[in-house]
C-alpha cells in the first residue's frame, strides 16, 4: 500500500495563533531518542503529540533529511525542482511502505510530521556546545540586542544562525 498525501499549500488551515489571538512561538524539536537537531519549528497548535506536523523552513527540512539519511532508518527523502519534498519508506519501516509529498507553503515552509516521533529538544538530549548555542539563539529570537545568554567563545555564528532560523520560520522578524 502506498500513501501519497500531497495537499496544496492552501488546502488545509495553518493556524499559528492561540485561541486568545496571541501568536504561537517557535519550539525546538528532535527525533525522539536521538541527538539530532535542534530543529526550529513552528507548531500549528498549542497542544501537539509526538506525531503532530510542524512548520519548518527549507534549511531545517534539509537538515532533517540529512540526519534521516545518516541514520539509515529505512526512509529516504529528496527535494524536486519545484521544491516538493518527498519521503519514501520501505515495508520494513512500518509494515506497509509508502510515500509522502510535502509542498512548501506560500512562505517556503514545510509541514513535516507523522512519520516518526518528535520530542522537545532540551537538556535531556545529548548535544554539543554548538547545538546548544544554536538552540539558545533560536529561543532568544524575540529579544532585542546581540547575545543574551553566554555560550562558549567562537560559537556566536551558531547563536546567530539559531536566531535567524527562528525569525524565518515564524515570519515575525520585527516582533519585539
In a domain, 53, yes or no: yes
Number of domains in the chain: 1
Mapping DSSP to helix (H, G, I), strand (E, B) and coil, where does residue 75 land?
A: strand
Domain encompassing residue 140: 27-170
Comparing CA positions, the residue from 16, 21, 22, 4 lying closest to residue 107 is 16
Tens-binned pLDDT, residue by residue, of the chain (176 aa): 333 333 334 444 455 666 677 777 899 999 999 999 999 999 988 888 999 999 999 999 999 999 999 987 789 999 999 999 999 998 877 788 899 999 999 999 999 999 999 999 988 999 999 999 999 999 988 876 655 667 778 898 999 999 999 999 998 755 54
**Element holding 156 (H helix, E strand):** helix 156-170
| Distance from C-alpha of 68 to C-alpha of 73, rounded to nearest angstrom | 7
Q: How far apart are CA 113 and CA 83, in angstroms?
A: 17
10 domain-assigned: no
60 three-state secondary structure? helix
4 domain residue, yes or no: no
pTM: 0.85
Is residue 152 within 8 A of residue 133, CB to CB? The reply is yes
Amino acid at each position: 500500500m502506498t500513501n501519497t498525501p500531497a495537499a496544496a499549500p492552501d488546502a488545509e488551515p495553518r493556524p499559528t495563533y492561540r485561541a486568545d489571538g496571541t501568536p504561537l512561538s517557535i519550539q525546538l524539536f528532535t527525533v525522539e531518542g536521538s541527538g539530532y537537531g535542534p530543529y526550529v519549528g513552528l507548531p500549528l497548535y498549542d497542544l501537539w503529540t509526538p506525531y503532530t506536523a510542524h512548520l519548518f523552513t527549507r534549511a531545517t527540512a534539509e537538515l532533517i533529511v540529512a540526519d534521516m539519511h545518516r541514520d539509515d532508518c529505512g526512509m529516504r527523502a529528496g527535494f524536486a525542482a519545484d521544491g516538493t519534498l518527498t519521503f519514501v519508506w520501505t515495508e520494513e519501516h512500518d509494515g506497509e511502505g509508502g510515500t509522502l509529498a510535502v509542498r512548501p507553503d506560500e512562505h517556503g515552509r514545510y509541514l513535516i510530521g507523522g512519520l516518526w516521533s518528535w520530542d522537545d529538544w532540551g537538556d535531556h538530549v545529548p548535544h554539543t556546545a554548538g547545538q546548544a548555542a544554536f538552540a539558545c539563539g533560536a529561543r532568544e529570537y524575540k529579544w532585542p540586542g546581540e547575545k543574551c545568554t553566554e555560550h562558549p567563545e567562537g560559537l556566536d555564528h551558531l547563536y546567530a544562525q539559531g536566531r535567524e532560523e527562528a525569525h524565518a520560520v515564524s515570519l515575525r522578524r520585527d516582533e519585539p
